[in-house]
Amino acid sequence: MSLTHSPEIHAKLIERVPAVTGRGLPEWFDALDKGPSLLRCSDRSNWLADEYELPHWYAQAIVTEYERRRRNRSIPAPRRDGT
């Protein structure tokens, strides 16, 4: 997944998502979870933008953040007992 915005721009877009869209990130992540099973990030951001009439740069930032957080959730923490 390529990030077309700089990390600074991405952070600013994510910070403004609730004010611009009227929904917080958890609501957008839920919409992505319930939406169609599209494999490519660009397809998901296009779907999100079209379905919810979002500017594409916000849809792309939401999908990118969703993927970042999903990757972090899916990595199990090492267990202390060594197993």
* Domain residue limits at 26: 7-71
Residue 81 lies in a domain: no
Cα–Cα nearest to 11, from 61, 47, 75: 61
Residue 39 lies in a domain: yes
pLDDT score, position 77? 55
pLDDT score, position 62? 97
- Burial class of residue 28, CB neighbours in 10 A (0-12, 13-18, 19+): buried
Q: How far is CA 58 from the centre of its chain?
A: 9
Higher pLDDT, 32 or 5: 32
Q: How many domains does the chain have?
A: 1
Give the pLDDT confidence of 33-70 residue by residue, as tens digits.
999 999 999 999 999 999 999 999 999 999 999 999 98
Residue % of the chain over a pLDDT of 90: 75
DSSP sequence for 26-62: HHHHHHHHHS----SHHHHHHHHHHHHT--HHHHHHH
Residue 12 lies in a domain: yes
Residue 2 has pLDDT above 60, yes or no: no
